[in-house]
Structure 1
Amino acid sequence: MPRLAKRMVVLAVDATLCVLTVWLAYYLRLGEWVKMSGDPYWQPVWAVAAALAIALPLFVVNGFYRAIFRYSGLSAMVTVIKAISIYALIYAALITAIGIPGVPRTIGLIQPMLLLLGVGTSRALAGFWLGGLYKNQLKMAALPRVLIYGAGNAGRQLAAAMSNSHEMRVVGFMDDDDRLHGHVLNGLSIYSPTDLPSLVNTLQVSTVLLAMPSASRHRRNEIIEEMRPVHVMVRTLPSVSELAQGKVNISDLRELDIDDLLGREPVSPNHILLGKNITGKVVLVTGAGGSIGSELCRQILKVEPASLLLIDQSEFALYEVHQELSARLPESEARLVPLLASVRDEERMREIMSAWKPDTVYHAAAYKHVPLVEHNPLEGIRNNAIGTITVAQVAAEMGVADFVLISTDKAVRPTNIMGASKRLAEMALQALADKGARTRFSMVRFGNVLGSSGSVVPKFRQQVRDGGPITLTHPDITRYFMTIPEAAQLVIQAGAMAKGGDVFVLDMGEPVKIMDLATRMIELSGLTLKDDEHPEGDIAIQITGLRPGEKLFEELLIGDNPKPTSHPLIMKAHEEFIPWDALQLQLKTFKAALDDNDVGRMKAMLAQLVAGYASNSDIVDWVFLEQEADATPLKQAV
């Protein structure tokens, strides 16, 4: 409509309100409806005429018809109140004070109040309708309905943060405290957790938000287990130590990770051990852009080293970790030095260590994805074993005080190249330490870390988002899991306890069956498992078969004689090794096989060097297989 036409419509509405409010004022005064014209009830006409003559010019002067109603707010309502206040004074003076024959004097007091209510309501309704507020209400009604588990401070802050959320709608609280059940908090009822099955139906709840940041991991695990049969999506706030100071935000919510299901309480770090090899010293981290390497750098920076040297052969990974750590430098006076280098490049390693003379080296650089290394075995051996030996020898030559190798549980009775290469690296460090090197060599062995590259958790989560199926290599496969920050802290503390040649093993807790993990992730996403018994389910689990070199069960110890240390989660293993002089001779022959790209001879020699190595697959090196395929027609022709 043209602007003038819109203004005329609003003017007509206000005129109509003037008439209606006079009529209603008569009813309130006389207790009966009166006719607006005609004998003998013609008196209301004068009251109506006075209202129109006074109100409409005042409204025009005060800009009532220049406002855009869909955007009118508090300021527009203030204008309405001011204008009608002036109108009330004039109208009351005329009707009540002076008086008009046949018009009750109280009409001059009642009608302005009714007009204020009518005009104010008309503006509010116009803003609600034209401004789309009713659409927002409809959208809010269609949002997923959620319950907040925990009516404490975090729960209240989360509910307040979500009051205008366009992602989900809070319909109530749940809390373990039975004294709160049945009460109302900020307009939302507090229910018992035992009512959740019925609430899913009555309130149409699809998600439960855990707002219990101070609860122990064991208690969180119990709550999650109780909600599994209900098939609601569960999301959680981080723990108290992870939450920043201040209010809780919706962005703090995250999906459940396996660390919410481990059921083990983290042990507070020993700050003396954390700082022993770092504070005020020059620290070098290889593989600084990787999952463990980058977390090591974060933890190291907190303990105030003099300088932190970041080494990685991936330009992008090095850039990313350097940018992240640089943003934290206001909290630390450490000097950050990003260095592109390969651990296999002896001259580059010597050049770096001679320039900065590091006190401590954390060697995290490794190819660790089992199937990829199995398909590229020569590169895996060169990087994981030969690269480690190269860096270790240069470190000993340059007088590095402490050298810590990040190892893996796959080094125990390995069935794959990745594990065998890491065990060979361990043996080399043990032999160098036994030889009497000034450098204290140690290695820290642990299992899978959550969130690392290649981890099953983000893979499973993406498969759930995509509607499945979840792909699993074997129904009985199990793995140890630990969070990356906890693993990095324990690596630093273990290295500080080293005396030379130590093989430290981290207590990973109980192993997790990956089939159970997949099932839990499906159920805690509010979905159901699809199998033969439940063909109508949402997400299926597809068994794809073990990949080359993959084991069903991982181990942390070769022998059965771990020794405790001063830290409850760090054990010390006694592992056999080959003395350095004998090992060095075998390594020369081994390197010759690598240089010749002879995969078969390399695997045979690896089996001789690494006790317990038993490959469970044939040669699957992509290059070797392609060369064999090209050579087959020639052999057949001959």
Structure 2
Amino acid sequence: MVTIFTYCVAYILRYNFRTDEIHFNIFVRDLTLITTLYTITFILFKSYEGIIRHSGVADTIKLVRAGIAASVFTILVSTLSKYFSPEVHVLPASIAIIHFILNIVLLALSRYGIKVLFYQSGKQSMLPTLSVIIYGADRGGVNTLRALKEDMFKNYKVCAFIDDDKEKINKYLEGVKVYPVSKISNLVKNFRITECIIAEPHLSHDIKNIVVERCLANKVSVKHLPPMEDWINGKLTAHQIRNMRIEDLLERELIHIHSGNINDEISGKIILITGAAGSIGSELVRQVIYHKPKKLILLDQAESGLYDLQTELWLMMQLMEEHVVETIICDITQRHRLQHVFETYKPEIVFHAAAYKHVPLMETNPLEAVHVNVLGTKNLVDLSVENKVNKFIFISTDKAVNPTNVMGATKRAAEIYVKDMSDRYPSTKFVTTRFGNVLGSSGSVIPLFKKQIENGGPVTITHPEVTRYFMTISEACQLVLQASSLGNGGEIYLFDMGESVKIYDLARKMVLLSGLMPDKDIEFIFTGLRSGEKLHEELLNDRENTLPTPHPKIMVANATTYDSAFVEYVFDKFQHSMIEPDQFKVVAVLKEFIPEFISRNSAFTGLDNETRFFNISDK
């Protein structure tokens, strides 16, 4: 109908509204030709396939292409007809061109009009208006604006764009003005803003925090877009826009990894990962598998976690058409079982992530902490040497530095053993990596705070001044793989953890992100430092200093060398402590081995001032 109508208008315009000059038979013949050709081209270009209420630029482009093709064919057919039959009337090219312009414009406008009417009529008239500002005056911002307009269940009104690019300030995007970040407070006051949506996926950490803090200070909730690859069929919808989480604010700039080095290290090799079902271990598995190892052995004593990981990898391997994974239930303290694993699979690289890591639990269970973290590590290190493993990567923690708790001391003891074996057996390259708290790991403070906030409080914090370093699981594992490719044996690699975060500030921000008010809706209670807990974590002990590496986020510590006979003697003591279990004796051995281990708020504090059970001269 639109094509016929615009053809009639084009004809009338061509003849300057002088209808007496129009020959009816010629008019009907040309109309038949044009409608036939337009119908054919619309079918060929599939311009009819788009759902009108979701029409966009792509649909308009299809219309334009079909219209151009139809106009060209119309002129071509009319001209050729004149060539074969000179008496045939030729359709003026001007009519074809005028018709093309009118037809495409009217078709596009009709689609857009139907789309607008659909969304306006579809929204409930009683819905309250939600005034919104969008950070990011670019493609992401435009996509967000359109997604909000198309939302059927909420009546959004985009009042302003925010951007830190001075070139965009005071300009307009889709009819909406762009303001600087400094105007957020004024915009909230003038437009009664309730939400801010961050539509810039690669916004720097500093600017993101500034925007969020200004919004939260004005009681404006903050949301952001999912990654573009998560958009439904490449299209953003309002339902995909999610609330800003504290993890999003703690994430740092993207790490640039030298993937070629990592690929050379792992591709075609047999890899063993201990603690594979844990937070760090499972993420290591996900990253390692993409470098196409010959065989990937997942070892853990946690049956459920290992099963879940195996199921996830099975789906992944179906897509990759790879079947390289072996899952093994095994406790690293069982040397004979580990020996069977090494002899059966002959791993070339070992990533050792298995450990007990919860500070308060290990403070009350020191025998198990030593059994797993110290002697379990010894089993793996010894078997790696015996079975000629090429490289052994030990994943340690910043709690091993000047330890104040049993868990940290056991990890430091394991670090020393790894370093000693590296010096004694250079054919196997032993590398240690050391980093702080990992976001999203089990036992992290963030899930605890979330649960407490959901329950209405109170939020419990050990001390108002306590600080911690944080790193995402993905980032930590990327750096572990990078460090493994750099290591030549004997190194302790430290990761750039950024600035430490005050836990009290983190908790308050989490409350604000939940739409609640600290101290008003949610109470804070300070419980005091737990047994063995530090106020501030460290990455280096007093006898260590760092040197740079080729990667800017990784440093290497000048590790202290220990006397091998002394190390062997101490580990014999640890072995004997398992036969005649006495938790005070085993902690005393730890303190003798690691002089900087000074207990805090612990049942073992008294051992710091007592005569050691042995000393170096006892050897």
Alpha carbons of structure 1 residues 275 and 134: separation in structure 2 relative to 1, 3 Å: closer
Q: Normalised by the size of structure 1, how large is the TM-score?
A: 0.70
Equivalent residue, structure 2, for 1:160? 146
The aligned counterpart of 2:388 is 399
SS of residue in 2 equivalent to 1:371: helix
Is residue 356 of structure 1 aligned with residue 359 of structure 2? no
**Is 1:387 matched up with 2:373?**
no
Deviations 1:48-73 (A, max 9, x none): xxxxxxxxxxxxxxxxxxxxxxxxxx
Work out whether 1:576 is the aligned partner of 2:564.
Answer: no
Say which of 482, 496, 500 aligns to 1:493.
482
Of 420, 438, 441 in structure 2, the residue corresponding to residue 431 of structure 1 is 420
SS at match of 1:366: coil
Equivalent in the alignment of 1:219 = 207
Alignment-derived partner of residue 631 in structure 1:
none
SS of 1:222's equivalent in the other structure is helix
The alpha carbon displacement at 1:479 in A equals 0.8
C-alpha contact (below 8 Å) 1:470/1:539 kept by paired residues: yes
| Residue aligning to 2:615 | none
For 1:258 and 1:242, locate their aligned partners in 2 and report how far apart those are by CA, in whole Å: 20
Give deviations 1:524-564, integer Å, cap 9, x for gaps. Answer: 4443322xxxxxx3323211111111000111111342111
Q: Residue 148 in 1 paired to residue 134 in 2?
A: yes
| Deviation at residue 203 of structure 1 after TM alignment | 4.4
Q: Distance in 1 between matches of 2:154 and 2:238?
A: 10
**What does the per-residue CA deviation read over 1:15-71, in whole Å, with 9 as the maximum and x for residues that have no partner?**
xxxxxxxxxxxxxxxxxxxxxxxxxxxxxxxxxxxxxxxxxxxxxxxxxxxxxxxxx
What's the secondary structure of 1:218's corresponding residue? helix
Relative to structure 1, the CA distance from residue 178 to residue 433 in structure 2 (aligned partners, 3 Å threshold; closer, same or farther) is closer
SS at match of 1:351: helix
8 A Cα contact 1:232 1:523, kept in partner? no
Per the TM alignment, residue 252 of structure 1 is displaced from its structure 2 partner at its CA by 4.7
Q: Confirm or deny: 8 A CA contact 2:123 2:154 kept in the other structure.
A: no
Query: CA 1:577–1:365 in structure 2 vs 1: closer, same or farther (change >3 Å)?
Result: same
Q: Which amino acid is the alignment partner of residue 566 of structure 1?
A: P
Across the aligned residues of Structure 1 and Structure 2, the Cα RMSD in angstroms comes to 3.1
Q: Where does residue 473 of structure 1 map in the other structure? A: 462
Q: Which amino acid aligns with 2:488?
A: K
Match of 2:533 in 1: 550
Q: CA deviation at 1:182?
A: 7.5
Structure 1 residues 618, 522: closer, same or farther in 2, change over 3 A?
closer
* 1:86-165 mapped onto 2 (5 Å cutoff): 136-138=124-126, 140-141=127-128, 145-162=131-148, 163-164=150-151
Q: The residue matched to 2:427 in structure 1 has which SS?
A: coil
In 1, Cα distance between the equivalents of 2:583 and 2:489? 33
- Does the alignment pair 1:342 with 2:337? no
Residue in structure 1 matched with residue 275 of structure 2 by the alignment: 287
Matches within 5 A, 1:170-569: 170-176=157-163, 193-201=181-189, 203-238=191-226, 246-250=234-238, 252-258=240-246, 260-262=248-250, 264-329=252-317, 330-331=319-320, 333=322, 335-530=324-519, 537-558=520-541, 559-569=543-553
Amino acid in structure 2 at the alignment position of 1:284: L
Q: Distance in 2 between matches of 1:518 and 1:252?
A: 26
Tell me how far apart the structure 2 counterparts of residues 442 and 257 of structure 1 sit (CA, whole Å).
34
Give 1:309 shift: 0.9
CA distance in 1, matches of 2:253, 2:322: 32
Displacement of 1:493? 1.1
**How much does 1:595 deviate?**
2.9
Match of 2:600 in 1: 616
Note closer, same or farther for the CA distance 1:583–1:179 as it changes in structure 2 (3 Å cut).
Answer: closer
Q: Deviations over 1:286-313 (max 9, x none)?
A: 1111111111111111211111111111
Contact 2:245 2:513 in 1 (8 A): no
Equivalent in 572, 578, 596 of residue 580 of structure 2: 596
Distance, in Å, in 1 between the alignment partners of 2:480 and 2:262 is 9
Please identify, of 192-201 and 592-601, the stretch whose mean Cα deviation from structure 2 is larger: 192-201
Aligned partner of residue 222 in structure 2, secondary structure? strand
CA distance in 2, matches of 1:251, 1:393: 54
Change (3 A) 1:452 1:253: farther
- 2:110 matched to which residue of 1? none
* Cα pair 1:600 1:619 within 8 Å, conserved: no
In the alignment, is the contact (CA less than 8 A) between 1:175 and 1:191 conserved in 2?
yes
TM-superposed CA distance for 1:189, in Å, is 6.5
> How far 1:323 sits from its partner (Å)?
1.7
Does the CA contact (< 8 Å) of 1:221 and 1:263 recur in 2?
no
Using the TM superposition, give the Cα deviation of residue 575 of structure 1 relative to its aligned residue in structure 2, in angstroms.
2.4
Contact 2:284 2:477 in 1 (8 A): yes
- More deviation, 401-410/585-594: 585-594
Aligned equivalent of 1:80: none
Query: Could you tell me which amino acid in structure 2 is paired with residue 327 of structure 1?
Result: L
Evaluate the alpha carbon distance shift between residue 556 and residue 252 of structure 1 in structure 2; reply closer, same or farther with a 3 A threshold.
farther
- Alpha-carbon separation, structure 2, partners of 1:211 and 1:201: 22
- Letter of the 1:466 partner, please give it: N
Give, in whole Å, the separation in 2 of the partners of 1:228 and 1:427.
Answer: 46
Whichever residue aligns with residue 552 of structure 1, its letter is L
- 1:315: Cα distance to partner? 1.0
Q: Contact 2:273/2:352 (CA < 8 Å) preserved in 1?
A: yes
Could you give the per-residue CA deviations for residues 245-288 of structure 1, whole angstroms, max 9, x where no partner exists?
A: 82334565444344544484233001133223211111111111
Matched letter for residue 293 of structure 1: G
User: What SS does structure 1 have at the residue aligned with 2:266?
Assistant: coil
Q: Distance in 1 between matches of 2:391 and 2:146?
A: 51
Secondary structure of 2:194's match?
strand
Correspondence for 2:12: none
Report if the CA contact (8 A) 2:151-2:238 is conserved: no
Cα pair 2:246 2:513 within 8 Å, conserved: no
Q: Structure 2: how far apart are the matches of 1:489 and 1:168?
A: 42
Alpha-carbon distance in 2 for matches of 1:280, 1:167 = 53
The one-character-per-residue Cα deviations of 1:464-516 (angstroms, maximum 9, x if unpaired) are: 33332221100111111111111101111111222222111111111111122
| CA distance 1:186–1:595, change in 2 (3 Å) | farther
In structure 2, the residue matched to 1:94 is none
Aligned length: 487
Cα drift, residue 238 of structure 1: 4.8
| SS across alignment from 2:603 | coil
Separation (CA, whole Å) in 2 of partners of 1:244 and 1:300:
28
Please tell me whether the aligned partners of residues 287 and 311 of structure 1 are also in contact (alpha carbons under 8 angstroms). yes
Is contact 1:502-1:573 (8 Å) kept? yes
| Partner SS, residue 489 of structure 1 | helix
Deviations 1:594-627 (A, max 9, x none): 3322011111111011231111133389xxxxxx
CA-to-aligned-CA distance 1:374-401 (integer Å, 9 cap, x gap): 1222112211111111111112111111
Given the superposition, is the C-alpha separation of residues 211 and 168 from structure 1 closer, same or farther in structure 2, using an over 3 Å criterion? farther
Question: What's the secondary structure of 1:492's corresponding residue?
Answer: helix
The alpha-carbon deviation at position 151 of structure 1 amounts to 3.6
d(CA) in 2 for partners of 1:332, 1:602: 49
